[in-house]
């Protein structure tokens, strides 16, 4: 009886020892592992993370800069200007247009074309009909479109004044009357109608939108209540001619 009890006690002690050894081993492994086996923290500290994310933007203001750009209108070169004026005022104005526009390459731009004009002499004469249009090294290197300048505008004022007439009524004025209204002459100038004013507009503003009625009404202010006169038309045509807007590319 004694031996049986003693044997049972021994087994119980051995079992207790094995249980304690296993517990200590597991605890030791947990303490030795990096961070142990605690994969889920007991308490998540969100306040510290929120402090990092909640950045005060007023402490780091964004620098604002205003960008500025400049824009300069590009005006057509001399050959286009001369072509429009010649078509509007006729062949009698060619000398004026040649002297004031075509020969002013520095102001109107437009280098010569080596394919359109060439420098070749037959004795003392140029083969080209107009020696001023002969293409040489200097003329071929002129600017295509120089920036707008006061000298160019001065030549335009001079040209338009000559074509419309200061103290006389040149043939170029009567020519443009006929372009505005078929059959119109110095003795019988065009009527100041919307149709005729549109025709005048189209002579300078090629392939451009037609003017609205408000613009036509404003142009009519150049004309006297009694009807259109030669002097009224001079003022109106001259105002169109000297404007740089129709020359804009």
Domain that holds residue 187: 78-109+145-247
Specify if 67 maps to a domain: no
| pLDDT at 87 > cutoff 80 | yes
Q: What is the pLDDT of residue 175?
A: 98
Let me know whether 206 and 123 are in one domain.
no
Specify if 40 maps to a domain: no
Specify if 127 maps to a domain: yes
Let me know whether 139 and 189 are in one domain.
no
| pLDDT at 18 > cutoff 70 | no
Give the residue from 176, 147, 156, 152 showing the smallest Cα distance to 242: 156
Let me know whether 201 and 138 are in one domain.
no
C-alpha angle 97-103-107 in degrees, rounded to nearest 5: 100
Specify if 197 maps to a domain: yes
State the average pLDDT over residues 202-213: 95
| pLDDT at 146 > cutoff 60 | yes
| pLDDT at 227 > cutoff 60 | yes
**Per-residue pLDDT reduced to its tens digit, 38-51:** 444 555 454 445 45
Let me know whether 138 and 164 are in one domain.
no
Let me know whether 149 and 243 are in one domain.
yes
pLDDT category at 58 given cuts 50, 70, 90 is: low
State the average pLDDT over residues 139-147: 82
Let me know whether 207 and 177 are in one domain.
yes
The more confident residue out of 124 and 167 is 167
Specify if 12 maps to a domain: no
Specify if 133 maps to a domain: yes
Q: Among 47-56, 80-89, 104-113, 222-231, where is mean pLDDT lowest?
A: 47-56
Q: What percent of the chain has pLDDT over 90?
A: 50
Q: What is the pLDDT of residue 243?
A: 95
Let me know whether 115 and 230 are in one domain.
no
Let me know whether 131 and 212 are in one domain.
no
| pLDDT at 130 > cutoff 60 | yes
Name the CA dihedral angle for 77, 174, 221, 227, rounded to a multiple of 10 degrees.
-170
The more confident residue out of 130 and 50 is 130
Q: Which residues pair with 248 in a beta bridge?
A: 75
* DSSP β-ladder status, 125-126 and 121-122: antiparallel
Q: Say what the pTM is.
A: 0.68
Specify if 103 maps to a domain: yes
Domain boundary among 143, 158, 190: 143
Let me know whether 136 and 210 are in one domain.
no
Is there a contact between 72 and 147 (Cβ–Cβ < 8 Å)? yes
Half-sphere exposure of 22 (CA within 13 A, CB side): 6
Let me know whether 128 and 162 are in one domain.
no
Let me know whether 82 and 183 are in one domain.
yes
State the average pLDDT over residues 30-44: 48
Let me know whether 126 and 96 are in one domain.
no
| pLDDT at 111 > cutoff 50 | yes
Domain count, the chain: 2
Q: Among 17-31, 52-66, 76-90, where is mean pLDDT lowest?
A: 17-31
Return d(Cα 203, Cα 220) in angstroms, integer.
17
| pLDDT at 190 > cutoff 50 | yes
């Amino acid at each position: 009886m004694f031996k049986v009890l003693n044997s049972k006690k021994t087994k119980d002690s051995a079992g207790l020892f094995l249980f304690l050894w296993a517990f200590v081993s597991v605890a030791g492994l947990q303490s030795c592992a990096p961070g142990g086996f605690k994969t889920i923290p007991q308490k998540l500290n969100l306040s510290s993370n929120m402090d990092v994310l909640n950045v005060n933007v007023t402490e780091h203001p964004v620098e604002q800069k205003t960008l500025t750009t400049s824009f300069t209108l590009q005006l057509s070169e001399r050959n286009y200007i001369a072509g429009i004026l010649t078509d509007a005022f006729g062949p009698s104005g060619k000398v004026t247009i040649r002297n004031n526009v075509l020969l002013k390459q520095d102001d109107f731009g437009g280098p010569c074309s080596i394919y359109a004009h060439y420098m070749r002499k037959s004795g003392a004469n140029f083969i080209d009909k107009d020696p001023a249009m002969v293409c040489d090294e200097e003329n071929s290197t002129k600017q295509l479109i120089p920036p707008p300048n006061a000298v160019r505008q001065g030549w335009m004022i001079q040209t338009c004044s000559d074509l419309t007439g200061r103290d006389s009524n040149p043939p170029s004025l009567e020519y443009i009357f006929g372009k505005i209204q078929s059959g119109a002459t110095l003795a019988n100038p065009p009527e100041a109608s919307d149709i005729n004013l549109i025709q005048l507009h189209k002579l300078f503003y090629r392939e451009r939108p037609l003017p609205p009625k408000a613009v036509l009404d404003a142009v009519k202010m150049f004309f006297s209540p009694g009807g259109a006169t030669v002097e009224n038309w001079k003022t109106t045509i001259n105002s169109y001619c000297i404007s740089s807007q129709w020359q804009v590319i």
